[in-house]
Structure 1
């Protein structure tokens, strides 16, 4: 599912780029990129992340072989936190004012730190449950 969603959105991103810019040889023989007048839609990237990042986190949680109650709880909390993270990043993407961009970056970092912190603790516990040969492969 994740691959299909990403494929669709990246084709849309490519088509948006092709429509937004003209590429051709300039007067000096070098390639030049000019604006066509059609706006480039970079929202596709964020819509893609809004769908795929939570799905990937849920997939990761499912393979950790945690108890069912913990799996459901983590899937919901990390899925929502990652969606909030992506949603908070988009307003910063579309801002021209650098201070406003940094504000939205800081806002998006709150759920990001929560997700990473939860995964570091959870992955450590799940890794410890694996056979010795597997633990050696994924441990530092």
Structure 2
């Protein structure tokens, strides 16, 4: 990471700096919105919305720490960038993902209100696969050579493919049993989850495309940040909207 720090430009530093700041604010705002919005959903969906807010709260904390680490790693003086001597700690991301990625899948399962047995089964399977995916991806993220990065990236892709299969095959029949007013929203939440998660491997493979040094670091930080915004804040609001509509539909039937 030290070589990257030595070659980062002022533009690259500012771009990443502002992206981290914006994401922290967005995650914090999404947390408040989701937790305050719990009052608009029935008790059946409060847990799903609470977990959505928790995901954004955890992400907000870690983005604040990432922001502080990025700021501490560099000294901006007279329009130039110098290394401060403190290494940028990107491990915060993987700590965040280890906590939030399983919860992202669990909130989607909970808002569908499946049977107790199916909810527990799918939550355990998807949550475990998500945690395994993150654990396997980390050694490749910190690797200094492409073969090692590729090896761990390939291993991490195995639970990722299982999750994709579960989202589109395992949950497919369950989605069709959802109320018509939310069926398309659930499909959109599932698609956004897949699309944002599919963006992570693309960013992970940035060094494969002959992008190195500061360019690779900038691409990785911005790419992961965009994916986080979609997977957590945007999907979280969708979960809340699904919960609201299902609550209304069930109230009309009562």
Q: TM > 0.5 between the two? A: yes
- Quote the residue 1:49 is aligned against: 97
CA contact (8 A) 1:46 1:90 kept: yes
Query: Separation in 1 of the partners of 2:92 and 2:113?
Result: 33
Deviation per CA, 1:5-24, whole angstroms, max 9, x where unpaired?
11110000000111111223
Where structure 2 has 5 or more consecutive residues not aligned to the other structure, the ranges are: 1-53, 189-254
CA RMSD across the alignment: 1.7
- Quote the residue 1:129 is aligned against: 177
Deviation per CA, 1:90-123, whole angstroms, max 9, x where unpaired?
1111111111000010010000000111111133
Query: Separation in 1 of the partners of 2:119 and 2:145?
Result: 41
**Displacement, 1:136?**
5.0
The SS at the match of 1:38 is coil
**Displacement, 1:130?**
2.2
The SS at the match of 2:144 is coil
One of 13, 17, 38 as aligned partner of 2:66:
13
| Distance 1:13-1:136 versus aligned 2 partners, 3 A rule | closer
Which segment is superposed worse, 81-90 or 124-133? 124-133
Which segment is superposed worse, 130-139 or 12-21? 130-139
One of 75, 83, 92 as aligned partner of 2:140:
92
Where structure 1 has 5 or more consecutive residues not aligned to the other structure, the ranges are: 26-30
- Tell me the TM-score normalized by structure 1: 0.88
Q: How many residues align?
A: 135
Query: Separation in 2 of the partners of 1:114 and 1:126?
Result: 17
Q: Are 1:81 and 2:134 counterparts? A: no
Q: Which has the higher contact order (CA 8 A, sep 6+)?
A: 2
- Tell me the TM-score normalized by structure 2: 0.50
- Quote the residue 1:2 is aligned against: 55
The SS at the match of 1:33 is strand
CA contact (8 A) 1:65 1:126 kept: no
The structure with the greater share of residues assigned to helix is 2
